[in-house]
Amino acid sequence: MLHFRFSTLLKELFETALKRPLPGSRQRTWLPTGHCCFGAASVDARAASTQLRVLHAAAHRPAPRTEPRAAPVRSYCVKTEGAVVLDEQVKKDGSSREAASDKRRNAGILPSLEDLLFYTVAEGQETIPAHKFLTALKATGLRTGDPRLKDCMETLKETLKKTSDGVTLDRHLFKRCVQSSIVLLTQAFRKKFVIPDFQSFTSHIDELYENAKNLSGGQVADYIPQLAKFSPDLWAVSLCTVDGQRHTVGDTKVPFCLQSCVKPLKYAVAVHDHGTEYVHSFIGKEPSGLRFNKLFLNEDDKPHNPMVNAGAIVCTSLIKVKAVALFFFFFFLIIIFFIFFFLCVQFQSERESGDRNFAIGYYLKEKKVWLWDEPCVKSVINLLFAAYTGDIPAMRRFALSSMDMEQRDYESRTALHVAAAEGHTEVVRFLLEVCKVNPVPKDRWGNTPLDEAMHFGHHDVVTLLQHYGASAEASEKNAE
């Protein structure tokens, strides 16, 4: 279809040029000067256009001459008699040419970007299997899970449900699916990303991966007991370019703890939130020359830089500084982002081996590096962990030791939030009946323990919280 459209257009343009020759030796063809380059089909069209220009120019080429020639004068023909327009006609001619192009596109003579993408993927076929499009998309480096393609993928999914076979798309259905992301897809298929030939690049990455796979030197980190249990045979590579091209190979589905790799991420968030100058009013910029976990500050009583443990702790405290509780709690556990998995064994291992980081935290507090006055770090950690695991004996010990049972973490989540989310009915009952905690506290997102229980489907906890929530509301009304 694309070949037919282009050949028809070129034929019309060629015939127009023959009917409207320029006088003398300066006549030119009226072939289009701009081309839509998109895939193999456009190459054929461009080649055909070039051949026509060469043939037409050869037919009107003047005899060679040796005497000097005057500088060529650019002229525009409007009549077959050879009349030449004035210079002011240039602007009008350009505008009319664009308008004519738009009319041809609207009339279906020139294909749209969606059409060109279809022809590129279809390779001469009238329909496209969805898997063929997705395979071609992956070859560019884009993934179906790319948030920029969310609307496109959702439309594709819904459209396939309505097709007869649930697999193929014709041109019109395809255009409807890709139109929301056509600019991104056009860049991808025209190889305009930072890595144009992504398949060759990933082949080289895979080769490097295989070459390094058999290396067995070194040893697994053992400064935290749980880390020492990781298999030394796990090996993976994952990358993402600035244009969102992604590639993974190896054991990429095995979760792992980021450890100190999270420090640059926290520093980036802090700088984004507050600016470089503010962040470095609390943290230095120079290397310390000491171990990363050294209990030591510079001459200004600041951590040397954001990449040592002391600097990372302060850097974390800058993030969401208005939150009531302990964002730096994550660093002490060294499971930032890994907290979503919240592996109990990892937590326990971190807590048992985290004395130096606790000491650094208290040292920073003593040096007034802290940005707010927080409750005891360990008490918050112990309380929330007991609520998470459903440890009733530990909860009783904390209550008898006069611990504040409504302490909050960095997200303003209480032990009641955590117990409700995990479905520990007895812990929820203990906190409500014995400790008399507030049944409707809100975290930084405005969620209550009841919201958590409903979200995770813990119906017994929902019933219990609804009862105490209603009782609390009634008590407030009576007090008023």
User: Long-range pairs for 416-419 at CB < 8 Å and ≥24 separation?
Assistant: 416/387, 416/441, 416/449, 417/441, 417/443, 417/447, 417/448, 417/449, 417/452, 418/384, 418/387, 418/388, 419/387, 419/388, 419/390, 419/449, 419/461
pLDDT (0 to 100) of residue 331:
45
pLDDT (0 to 100) of residue 364:
73
pLDDT (0 to 100) of residue 227:
77
Query: DSSP letters of 429-467?
Result: HIIIIIS---SS---TTS--HHHHHHHTT-HHHHHHHHH
Answering whether pTM is above 0.85, one says: no
Domains 255-374 and 375-480 share a fold: no
Superfamily assignment of 255-374 in CATH? DD-peptidase/beta-lactamase superfamily (3.40.710.10)
Of 178, 177, 185, 182, the C-alpha closest to 138 is 185
Q: What are phi and psi of 15, to 5 degrees?
A: -65, -35
pLDDT (0 to 100) of residue 151:
95
- Show the tokens assigned to 45: 């069209």
Rounded to whole angstroms, the Cα distance separating 315 from 306 reads: 6
Rounded to whole angstroms, the Cα distance separating 23 from 386 reads: 94
pLDDT (0 to 100) of residue 336:
41
Fold of 375-480: 1.25.40
pLDDT (0 to 100) of residue 100:
55
pLDDT (0 to 100) of residue 138:
95
Rounded to whole angstroms, the Cα distance separating 184 from 188 reads: 6
pLDDT (0 to 100) of residue 35:
41
Strands (E), 349-402: none
CATH 1.10.238.210 fits 113-189, yes or no: yes
Q: What are phi and psi of 316, to 5 degrees?
A: -70, -35
In three-state secondary structure terms, 108 is: coil
Cβ contacts of residue 143 below 8 Å, gap of 6+? Answer: 246
pLDDT (0 to 100) of residue 52:
39
Enumerate residue ranges in the chain where pLDDT < 50.
1-11, 13-87, 90-91, 321-345, 373
pLDDT (0 to 100) of residue 478:
58
Helix (H) or strand (E) holding 171: helix 171-178
| Sequence spans of domains, the chain | 1-55+96-111, 113-189, 255-374, 375-480
